[in-house]
Every structure is written in C-alpha cells, then in structure tokens.
Chain A
Amino acid sequence: MSASEGNYLHIVMPDQISDTRRNFGRFIIWGSAVLLILTVLLQSLDQSNFLSFGFENWRPTLYAYLFWAFSLCLGQVILYGEQGKRRLFILPAVLFVISVVIFPLIFALGIAFSSWNLSSPDGRQFNGLANVYQMWSDPFYWNALKNMIYYTLAILFEYIIAFSLALLLNTQIRARKFFRVAFLMPLMLSPVAVSWMIGKSMLEARFGPISRLARELGWENPSFFGSHEMARAVIMMMDAWTFIPLMMIMILAGLQAIPKEMHEAADVDGAPPWKKFWEITFPLMLPVSITAILIRIIFKLKLADIIINVTSGGPGGATDSVTSFIFREYRDRSNVGYGTFLAIFYLIIIVILMTILIKIADKWMRPRY
C-alpha cells in the first residue's frame, strides 16, 4: 500500500475464502460472460442473415450484458470478500460509464466513416474518407467552429460581470438572501423556456418590451437578429444571462474563504481599495477564478438549446454553434454518418485544447502569496 496518496481506510484482516466459494465466484463471472458472448454471436449471425432466430432487436444482448455486469459485481464479493466489497463501491459506476460512453464512442468511430441515412433502406455504407473531404469543404462547419471561438471569448466579459457581482454581494448589505436568490434565478430556468421568454417575446421586433425600450431610446427599427454581429451578440448575452450565476457563486464562495485578517492587515497599512483588490483579493482568487472559467468553458462548448430555439443558426449561420449545426444537419438530411464525423472531430479539438488549457491552468493555479 505504498501508493496511498490520501487518508485511506485500510484492511485490518484478510478474509478466509474457501476453494468452493472461489470456484463459485469464478463460475458466475465466466459463466455469464460466456452467455453474453454467445448472445452477441447468435445475434450477429441473425443480423447477417446466416441463421434466423427471429430476433426483433438487440434487447437480448442488452439483457445478457446487464446480467453479466450484475454477476461481475456479485462475483467480486464472492471472490475477494472484504476487498471485493470495496470494489463494489466504484464498480457499478465504472461499468455504467464504460457501457454508455466508451462503447458508443467506439461505435461512433465506426459510423463516422460511413454514409448512413436513417430514413433510406440501404442502411450503413462505408465511404472511407468521403466525410473528411466533405467536412473540409463545408464552409458552415468551419463557420460554426469560428463562432465557438467568439462564444468562448465572451466568457471573459461574463467573468468580469460575475466577479463584480460577487464582490458586491460580499460587502455588508441588507437583504443579501433576496439578492442571492434573485441572482441565482436565471440558472434555474430551462434554456428552452428562456429562448421563448427572451428571444422570442421580449426581443420580438414589434411588441417586445426590449424593442420598445430600444425605440424609446431612438433606435428606429430595432431588429436583434438582422445583422450577423448583432444576432451573435444577442445569443451571447442570453447565454451569459443564464450562466453568470454559476460563475458568480463559485467566485463568491472563494471570496468568503479569504481570511478576514488579510483585509484588516491591509486596512491597518492604509491600502486604498483598488490596491487592496489588485494586491490581495485578485491574486488570492486566481485558483478559484481559473476553476470557474474552466467549468464555464466546458458548459459553453455544449451551447445549443438557445440557438436551436431562437435563431436556428441564422442569419446565414452567423449564430451557429457546432452542436446546433450538427443538430440541424441531422434534422435536414438525417445523415448520421456525416454528423457523427463532425462531432468526433469537434471532440478531438476540444480534448486537445482542454488538455493544453488545464496544463497551463495547473501552472497558474498555485497561489502566489
């Protein structure tokens, strides 16, 4: 147990496990595994029309898999006793994640290099690198990727607003709970409802209250989704509106964890407020800020609901995010193959960029007192 990094519980006594029990445990695990493999084989044969068992779908394989997973968990306890019970804490989650992430991802790689129109009867057709070429010359996809960069850069403004709000909430104010609840509210609302509430009704060109206000302020014909820049900015603002509370609360938690003595010491030394902020609060908040921004980036990369429902990518793809683009691509042409390839490509970009970001962040995370 030299690898114990943290504060772990350790085993006091090894279990006495009899041979029969051990054999029984092995039998369950391997028996169910054989059953699973057999089912898969039979179903594949059935699928490729070698034999016909009249399977309607792959459900039997699913049941066999569930049975195997259950036996594997049970087998751990039978085989290893106390040690197995410990494995049981994480084994179900590991199996679950593997079966719903890793397996579909491998499956997705298979689809990605094929043309598969779900509504056509031909089924899947392997088409090699055709999807790559198609992506390479697809201006809308690159445009969507470019938009994601803009959307991600908008996080900087969100961060500034969130930080200022957190600073304000951290001062001595009355009705703090009211403000906290009010500020939290946008995060609780469903993006779809928000797209109607704000995007479709409040920003409606003729009757919406915001357009009315804009007209009062001297804008003749307010149209929020007319020009490219405007539409993108409005989507950014709506997304910011929903997610600023998340950053704000993380930063507020960080602010409240700063020891009071720091500020008192600075007060005694007669530091002016802005200097107090730049020399104490901001550096101390750096780790929290980076965590908040990273989490925000992760959420931002999934941005889609608002775009799908408000602009559906328009005007001319100016507001498209990658997710909403693939969504429409599938809706319009129901081509699973190309959509999956685009998604996988997006995933690869994200993984590379996030790894770099986390590496850089790790360097910055160490607080410099």
Chain B
Amino acid sequence: MNKQIFHDTAQDLSFKPNWFFNRFLIYGVLIIWAFICLFPIYWTITTTFKAAPDVMKGNIVPWWDFTPKWLGLKSLGLSPNTIFVENTVREEFLKRFWNSTIIAFSSSTIAVALGSCTAYGLSRFSYRFGFMRNSDISFFFLSQLILPPVVLALPFLVLYKELALLDTRIGLIALYTLTVLPIVIWIMRDQFGSIPVELEEAALVDGLSLWKAFGTIILPIALPGIIAAFIISLVLTWNEYFFAALLTSSHAKTLPVMVASQTGSQGIAWWSMAALSFAAILPLVIIGIILEKFIIKGMAAGAVK
C-alpha cells in the first residue's frame, strides 16, 4: 500500500552535500582571487603609514601590530601638520598630478569627440575614398591598435624636437589621443550600431539638420557608450608611461614618470614611495569603484555581437 510512485534517485539524494561543497569551493576561489587582487592595494595603503622598523618586521595589520604614523603623507607634504607649510616635494607632486589630470582629460575628450563622430559616420553613411570603402576605413582606424608605441616613439622624439613640442603637454595630448582613438571607435561603433536608423530618418523628415539630429537625438541615446569610452581612455592615458618617459623631461612630466624616477633613490624609505604610488592609483581606484558599470560595458563592447 505504501508504495511510492516517484522515487528519489541516488543522484537526487546526493544533491545537498554536493551543493554545499560546490558553494564552498566557488566562494573559496572567489575570495582567494579577490584577496590576490586587493592585497597589493591594501599593502600600499598600510605601508604609507609604516615606519622603518614596521616595514622590516613585516607588520601588516594597523593598530594591532603597528601604530600608524603620518610618515608617507608627510614626505609628500600632505599630512595634517605639514599641509599648510611650504613644501617643495608637495609642489612638485601637485604639478605632476595636475599635468597628468590635464593631459588625461583633454586627450580623452578629444579622442571621444573625434571617435564618436567617426564611428557615427562609419555606421550611417557609405563612404568611398579612392578604393577604400567603409569596412576598409574602419579597419584602417582599428589597425592603429596593433601599432606598438615604440615604433612611433623615436620618430616623434625627433619630430617634436624640430617642432619644439618636446616636453609640452600638447605634444603628449596628441600622442595619447592617437593611442586611445581606435579603442574609442571600437566601442562607439558598437554603440551606434545598436541604435536604429529610423530615429534619424524620422528626425530628418521632421526637418532637423543632420548635425542637429546627431547632437540632440543620437548622442543622448549613446551617452552610456560615450561615458564608457571616455573612462577607458582616461584609465589608459592616466597610466601611460612609455611616451611620457621619452618625451618629457621637466615641464610636462606626468605622475607615472615621477613615480618611476623615485623608485631607485629612496632606500628603505618605503613610506614615501608607498604614498606616491598610492596617490598615483587613488583616482582610478575611486573611478573603478563608482563607475565599474561603464568600464565593464566598454570592455565588453565588441566581444558580443
């Protein structure tokens, strides 16, 4: 009488422990990898506040095995008791920081402006420059991505010397714009491709001019893509070291060059290097946390058709 119609197979019965084991494994791996990703950042932040003995003893947890001191920020002239005092290191640091900011922002802005227009044009109109059609022009732009910076570096060194653009911000901005332009076009082409042409057709029928339709209708829709492209350009240009190391010497030196030039000379004064490195990564860490969505969107563009 007590006969069951549905039986739990052995596979079903073993499901529960398996599930817990799986969960455990997944979270274990995820947490280990998160640790690998975050520990260097944590290490840099804490080292900023360590004195030499703490560094040598390898203390890691603040307040527990060492008392934080303002050493790192003091060496940059940014600690509470030095912030209002005249300080040459801080002057230097702020100048480099400001250079990096200006160069990164202006080159990203120019690249996004040029790139968006180009991507829009390529996705909407058919061009013919000699033998080149749209797909050839697209390829022409995207192929710039393959070009290693070292090929351009030395010719630019000579050219900039002749043009008196060596060690100027404008010179770096032009080069940085070039390096991020293909990426912007790549992202924006994807973005404009997903917007239906009928929108502009309707706008044009209603009497808007081409540029007005582009500015008032298409750009606002493409805004997420534009932000994504802008932020990725910002990350790449802020971190760029190679061109900056070759083409700047004193006036237009950027933050990465300053960080690199300090590495040799400091000995065991780790706190000051840590403070400098930390200052160099902080803006992007903040951007990464707040705007993570856009960065992911930008990087995923083109991966999925």
Contacts and interface: CB of A to CB of B under 8 A. Distances in A.
Interface of A: 1, 3-9, 12, 56-59, 62, 82, 85-90, 92-94, 96-97, 100-101, 104-105, 107-108, 111, 116, 118, 164-165, 168-169, 171, 173, 177-198, 200-202, 206-207, 209, 212, 241, 246, 249-254, 257, 287-288, 291-292, 298, 301-302, 304-305, 308-309, 322-323, 326-327, 330, 336, 339-340, 343-344, 346-347, 350-351, 354
Contact of B303 (A8, A108, A254, A323): A254
Contact of B181 (A93, A182, A207, A326): A93
Nearest to A179: B30
Contacts of A182: 34, 37-38
Nearest to B235: A188
B82 interface: no
Given A12-B204, A173-B27, A298-B146, A184 B40 contact: no
A202 B128 contact: no
Given A59-B163, A86-B210, A184-B288, A201 B47 contact: yes
Contacts of B289: 181
Given A101-B178, A179-B30, A190 B281 contact: yes
Given A89-B118, A200-B263, A309-B260, A7 B197 contact: yes
Contacts of B152: 100-101, 104-105, 108
Given A3-B133, A169-B30, 18 more contacts: A5-B135, A6-B123, A9-B197, A59-B164, A85-B211, A90-B121, A96-B177, A108-B154, A116-B158, A189-B41, A193-B259, A201-B270, A207-B55, A309-B241, A322-B148, A327-B246, A347-B151, A354-B146
Contacts of B5: none
Contact of A196 (B163, B197, B259): B259
B149 A302 contact: yes
B109 interface: no
Contacts of A194: 40
Interface string B114-126: 1101101111111
B259 A190 contact: yes
Contacts of B115: 93
B34 A183 contact: yes
Contacts of B197: 7-9
Contact of A241 (B36, B153, B296): B36
B58 A196 contact: no
Chain B contact patch, size range: 35 or more
Contacts of A351: 146
Interface in B148-178: 148-159, 161-164, 174-175, 177-178
B94 interface: no
Contacts of A8: 124-126, 197
A275 B167 CA distance: 58
Interface in B97-149: 114-115, 117-118, 120-129, 133-135, 137, 140-141, 144-149
Contact of B127 (A90, A288, A346): A90
Interface string B230-270: 00000100110110011000000001110110010000001
B150 A323 contact: yes
Given A8-B125, A111-B154, A111-B155, A97 B144 contact: yes
Given A185-B41, A196-B263, A327-B242, A97 B159 contact: no
Contacts of A56: 164
A254 B10 CA distance: 35
Nearest to A306: B241
B114 A330 contact: no
B147 A184 contact: no
A225 to B, nearest CB: 14
Interface stretch (B69-77, B219-227, B272-280): B272-280
A350 B175 contact: no
A193 B235 CA distance: 13
A347 B241 CA distance: 20
B304 A189 contact: no
Interface of B: 26-27, 29-30, 33-34, 36-38, 40-41, 43-44, 47, 55-56, 58, 60, 114-115, 117-118, 120-129, 133-135, 137, 140-141, 144-159, 161-164, 174-175, 177-178, 181, 185, 196-197, 200-201, 204, 210-211, 235, 238-239, 241-242, 245-246, 255-257, 259-260, 263, 270, 273-274, 276-278, 280-281, 284-285, 287-289, 292, 295-296, 299-300, 302-305
A314 to B, nearest CB: 14
B216 to A, nearest CB: 16
Among A89, A104, A185, A322: residue with most chain B CB under 10 A: A89
A101 B285 contact: no
Contact of A330 (B127, B181, B246, B255): B246
Given A6-B123, A207-B55, A209-B43, A184 B292 contact: yes
10 contacts: A90-B127, A92-B117, A94-B140, A100-B175, A200-B273, A201-B47, A207-B56, A304-B150, A330-B154, A346-B148
Contacts of A327: 150, 153, 242, 245-246
Contacts of A241: 36-37
